[in-house]
Structure 1
Amino acid sequence: MRSKLMEMLESRKEEMIEIRRYLHENPELSFKEEKTAQYIADFYENKDVDVDRDVGNGYGLIITITGGKPGKTIGLRADFDALPIMEEADVPFKSKNEGVMHACGHDAHTAYLLVLADCLIQLKDELNGTIKIIHQHAEEVPPGGAKSILESGKLDDLDAIFGIHVLPMDEAGVVGYHSGYSFNGRSYFKLKIQGQGGHGSSPHKANDSIVAGAHFVTAVQTIISRRINPMDVGVITIGSFDGKGTFNVIKDSIEIEGDIRYMSTETQEIIAKEMKRMVDGIEVEFGVECTLDYEADYPPLNNDPGYTAFAAESLKQVKDKDIKEVKEYPPLAPSEDFAYYLEKIPGCYFFIGCTPKGVKEPYFNHHPKFDIDEDAILVAAKAVGHVVCSYFEQNK
């Protein structure tokens, strides 16, 4: 089955690229991917599979491929939403939707998985188990699609789950992996500080919310420097300080918004606790009223050590001309809602090099000029295909 699958994938490389370019030209934002979801559903029309649409809190799809023999059930996931970015990449298949761009590679993820799924459908009589293809909406915007798909119960029967992300950290042909905590978790906060406005000449008759906010901006960093174990990872970024007013007027209220990253749930809990404590203290110290909204968005992505070692060794052992190197990556700073799947289902999320040919310093994901070497799409399909074959070979 493995050799048949690889031959089929190689013969359909151009089709994968064509699909990716179509999706790239027609991106849709998170929770608004109606046409993309329809495109995916149309791809599976008249194929011998079960198609479950509108799964979760949006346009998610689950395609169930039932093998010819009983066995374990695994999931393969790709996301398909785009970002609110004006594209600056110089490509002939540039986005037709102004201000929306596939700047993270989800177009490539969907393209590889559609063709891989179709090949597996054709070979399903040789499968000793079941594969659920998870086309996931809304990865980019919390609460995301993964959590709601899990909560639907439609993945309760999975024994393992696998996924990939294209990253321009290496050339096409390089596959990366990391065991354990691999992507940061992420939280969002908004703090409103209500003081008492007044004239700039009479600060004693007012209560300056900007002063209290400025203190918070500086003091909040001590949570990282003085409350987190130095061996752990934590970042607090103040992304917005909305205090614009008039030069001679003491501001009545301000709003601060920020982003928090961490590599363990324990660190997240410490930051949340300490931030609440600090806000309570600012109320007392400055005599202001504070309203803190704190939302833990995506948890840290924790790759199962056993399945990560399995995936890495499976790919290291294959002799495939398109997979040139399999290497260990360090933990990475971005966040990814695939983490929700891994909280409930053992599995591995690994990485596919996609640096465009001849480029030494590529634009990273989420940049307006982000682009990929389209050879990486076939690498992704073959890498996941090899892992699938190895999994079912071990679990006959």
Structure 2
Amino acid sequence: MNWSILEEQMVSYRRHFHQYPEISHEEVKTREFIRRELESLGLKPFSFTGKDIVVDLQGANPGKVAAIRADMDALPVEEETGLPFASKNKGTMHACGHDGHMAILLGLIHFFKKHQHKLNGTIRFIFQHAEETVPGGANEIVANQGLAGVDGIFGYHLWQPLPLGTIGVRQGPVMAGADKFTIRIIGKGGHGSMPNETIDPTLIASLAIIQIHTIISRSLHPLAQAVVSIGELKSGTTYNVIPDSATLSGTVRQFSTEVSMQIHKRLDEILHGLSVSYSSEYELDYTYGDSAVVNDAELYSLVKEKAAKLFGKEKIVEIKPQLGSEDFSYYTNCIPGMYTFIGVGKEDTQYGHHHPKFDIDETMMVPAVQLLSEAVIEFLHKGEESCE
């Protein structure tokens, strides 16, 4: 394989995607661009949901089915990188690396198309929509039988927190589950000079925030891994009026459904106690989102072995569980899966994922193709149970 030519092609893909980002569930032009590229290779793309785009590549010899997934959606972020190929869509940016993920998957398709005559089994390439939403596009694909007959799935992320050139792997839970909650405190408004005639929802919301932040330290087992964060508080419209209500929302990150349910229960108890104490009312909307991504033991060993062979053992990083979430969990809940991190961080890298100045290092796209292609080829020679 001429890696320099493939790298040139992938850089071109990535920069096109970067210039024309589309947010979750609106990846229309992105999908059509990918469709045209696949058809130009003589492939027949299809879709499970009408929002994703998928293609199967069947090898010359019978065998198992492996899937590889890339996410397509961008974020509602105004880009500030100053790159010559910066986003042309105002208020939208590939600030997480999904542009690179799509380019890598197209690079893998080029690679396997060239070696199709040597391939055992079938590879399903999934360009998934709406990874950034809860629940994400993976849920829709699985619900529409997108994994029927698939024996194992591979995912990956160009990852700024890891040093450039390293490969991050982990067996078992690797990305956290993510829940969302919204709380409405209902009080009684009035003039700021007469607080005694009101039920102040802003005060009650403030007390709720303080108590919510004790859930992790005082309600969960000390070894349970979880985070509760309040990201939004809205109350009132002017300085001298106590409003009728206040709204706050936040996120819960965890590695088990049991912990999710425990936090949900504790939130309700805290709010109930405050409502009794202050004669207020409350509404709690708790959404159970993506579950944790759990890497299969055999696929973990396979990817780790291939990474060590390609790049050296010193480039392998056994990462800690990440409290960011990923809807790749819908796949790993059904079949064996492996989610791998491709290090793109540099010493002078200042901006992390979702930042307006975030950028990736394009030199890691070829190593990603090399690693994933080796792993998939090896996987197709081993037996796994499929999941309907």
Q: TM-score normalised to the size of structure 2?
A: 0.93
Aligned to 1:193: 185
Percent identity for Structure 1 against Structure 2 = 36
Question: What do residues 114-142 of structure 1 show as CA deviations (whole Å, max 9, x unaligned)?
Answer: 12112212322322211100000111122
The one of 362, 365, 379 aligned to 1:374? 362
Equivalent of residue 92 in structure 2, options 100, 108, 113: 100
Query: What is the aligned counterpart of 1:242 among 231, 234, 237?
Result: 234
How far does residue 104 in structure 1 lie from its aligned partner after superposition?
0.5
* 8 A contact 1:172–1:379 mirrored in 2: no
Q: Which residues of 2 match residues 144-155 of structure 1 at below 5 A?
A: 144-155=136-147
Post-superposition shift, 1:361? 3.8
**Residue 255 (structure 1) shift:** 0.8
Q: Find 2:276's aligned residue among 284, 291, 304.
A: 284
Is 1:25 aligned with 2:16? no
**Contact 2:66–2:380, Cα closer than 8 Å, also in 1:** no
Look up the equivalent residue of 1:364 and give its one-letter code.
G
Corresponding residue of 1:42: 36
Q: How does 1:92-131 map to 2 (within 5 A)?
A: 92-131=84-123
**Deviation at 1:27?**
0.8
Is the partner of 1:141 in helix, strand or coil? coil
Are the counterparts in 2 of residues 172 and 375 from structure 1 also a CA contact under 8 Å? no
Per-residue deviation, 1:221: 1.4
Tell me which residue corresponds to 1:209.
Answer: 201
The CA deviation at 1:315 is 2.2
> What's the offset of the Cα at 1:273?
1.7
Alignment of 1:83-98 (within 5 A): 83-98=75-90
Offset of residue 99 of structure 1: 1.4
2:295 paired with 1:307: no
Unaligned 5+ runs, structure 2:
none
> Conserved in 1, the CA contact under 8 Å of 2:180 and 2:288?
yes
Query: Over residues 149-200 of structure 1, what are the superposed CA-to-partner deviations in whole Å (9 max), with x where a residue is unaligned?
Result: 0110121211100011001233442211111111122111111111111233
1:247-286 Cα offsets, whole Å, 9 max, x none, are: 3332211111112212322221211121122222222222
Contact 1:355/1:362 (CA < 8 Å) preserved in 2? no
Rounded Cα–Cα distance in structure 2 between residues aligned with 1:153 and 1:164: 22
Instruction: Find the aligned partners of 1:129 and 1:207 in 2 and give their Cα distance.
Output: 67
* Corresponding position of 1:219: 211
Checking the alignment, whether the CA contact within 8 Å between 2:38 and 2:44 is kept in structure 1 is no
Q: Is the 8 A contact 2:27 2:129 kept in 1?
A: yes
Query: Which residue matches 1:230?
Result: 222
Cα offsets for 1:201-259 (capped at 9, x unmatched): 43333222122211111111121111111112221111111113333332211111112
- Aligned residue among 41, 58, 65 for 1:73: 65
Deviation at 1:87, TM superposition (A): 1.1
* RMSD (Å) for aligned C-alpha atoms: 2.0
* C-alpha contact 1:167 1:355 (8 A) present in aligned 2: yes
Q: Report the counterpart of residue 315 of structure 2 in structure 1.
A: 325
TM-score between the two structures when normalised by the length of structure 1 = 0.92
